[in-house]
Structure formats: C-alpha cells, structure tokens
Homo-oligomer: A and B are copies of this chain.
C-alpha cells in the first residue's frame, strides 16, 4: 500500500474500469471474481489486476478471489464516488446540452446541478433532469459553486473561450475541470484537469489504420 502520489497514473485510470466491470458482475449476481476473470473482461493480464489493487491495500482472498460487493465499495471509496457529488457545466451549445442530459454521469455518482453560458439566447433555458436548474450567466458561477458545494466543472465552450472560462471556474472555486475544448489549459498545479479532445481521438484511429495498411 503506497501513498496516493506514488501510485502509477495508469493504475488509477484502470481502477475506474475495474469498478465498471465489477458493477456488471454484481448485476449478474456474481459473488466473487478472480484477477484472471476480471482481467479477461478488460483485456488485461491477471498480474496487472492484482498489482493495481495491491497499490491500494489488501483486497483479495487467496484461493477465493475478490468479493464483488466488498470490492465495489472499497474502490468507490478510493475514487471518492461513494457519495454523490455535484458538478457544473460551462458552455451550453450542442455538446453542453448533450452532456447536461447525459445519464452516464449520474450513474457514476455525479449530478449536474448548474449550467452557465454568456449567450443570452440560452440563458434562462431550463433543464429537464432530476435536479432542475436554469442556465445562468457566467457571472453567477462563483455563487453556485459556493451554495451547491461544487468541486468539479465540465468545460464545453469553443476553443477561443476555453482559457478565459477556465480562469473564471478556478477563480470561482472549482477544483477539477473536465475539458472538451481542443486547447491545453494553463492552470495552477492545484487544479486537476482532464481533457477529452474528440478530434484527437479520431486522429489516433486514423493513424492506427495507416499502420496495418489500407
């Protein structure tokens, strides 16, 4: 068991995948699962699975494997998703709207509870989810962060606005940003940033196609 900062980044990435797969096993009423079975479902080696869990403590039972419900709880705890948390969205264009109604966030314990834009045509629009809210101007962002204890923000604005809106988020108290704009955000090291550049992902595939010939 290591200190969090000594855990390899790839191991943390895989932890989320383990959780996802464990939930599938749990839904199928599997009580225990071995590192080999879990690895197979995710195309990973059994040694990889065992080592990844070992970074966080002792989770398994020799001769038995891992108890599914127990492991789910402990992984959620590690990821900080054992309790639901609130997130906001900045940028209510096509992508932002899709993300507001995206059910995959709630399934993993993240509730979208506020949205912001500076376009008057979308300000005032109402959400249709479990927790209703109205699209507000960006100036209201810090208030929502405080009142709703929001720590994570989703950035879905055009590239040209991304850095300045990210600055507003950080100034408002946001601690982590999921960035969909195709820019490298410059933030202090105390802010966690994860970027999803969809164009870049397609380029990766394009390159791989070229490798095998075609």
List, in ascending order, chain B residues with CB within 8 A of A138's CB.
none
Chosen A-B contacts, 6 in total, with CB atoms closer than 8 Å, are A15-B203, A80-B207, A81-B206, A110-B206, A176-B209, A178-B198
Is there contact, CB below 8 Å, between A205 and B182? no
**8 Å CB contact of A176 from B20, B87, B184, B208:** B208
Output the residue of A152, A175, A206, A207 with the most chain B CB within 10 A.
A206
Shortest CB-to-CB span from A34 to chain B, Å, is: 17
**8 Å CB contact of A184 from B41, B184, B196, B199:** B41
Is there contact, CB below 8 Å, between B192 and A152? no
Output the residue of A79, A175, A214 with the most chain B CB within 10 A.
A79
Residues facing B in A88-113 (CB within 8 A) are: 94-95, 97-99, 101-102, 104-105, 107-108, 110
Is there contact, CB below 8 Å, between A85 and B206? yes
Shortest CB-to-CB span from A58 to chain B, Å, is: 19
A16-B197, A20-B197, A95-B102 given; A79·B203 CB < 8 A: yes
List, in ascending order, chain B residues with CB within 8 A of A110's CB.
199, 202, 206
Instruction: Give 15 A-B pairs besides A4-B210, A20-B182, A80-B210 with Cβ atoms closer than 8 angstroms.
Output: A4-B211, A15-B207, A16-B204, A19-B203, A20-B199, A81-B203, A87-B202, A94-B102, A98-B99, A104-B197, A105-B198, A108-B200, A110-B206, A152-B202, A178-B201
Is there contact, CB below 8 Å, between B107 and A199? yes
Is there contact, CB below 8 Å, between A204 and B41? no
Instruction: Check A21 for interface membership: any CB of B closer than 8 A.
Output: yes
Instruction: Check A42 for interface membership: any CB of B closer than 8 A.
Output: yes
- Cα of A212 to Cα of B108 in the assembled complex, Å: 21
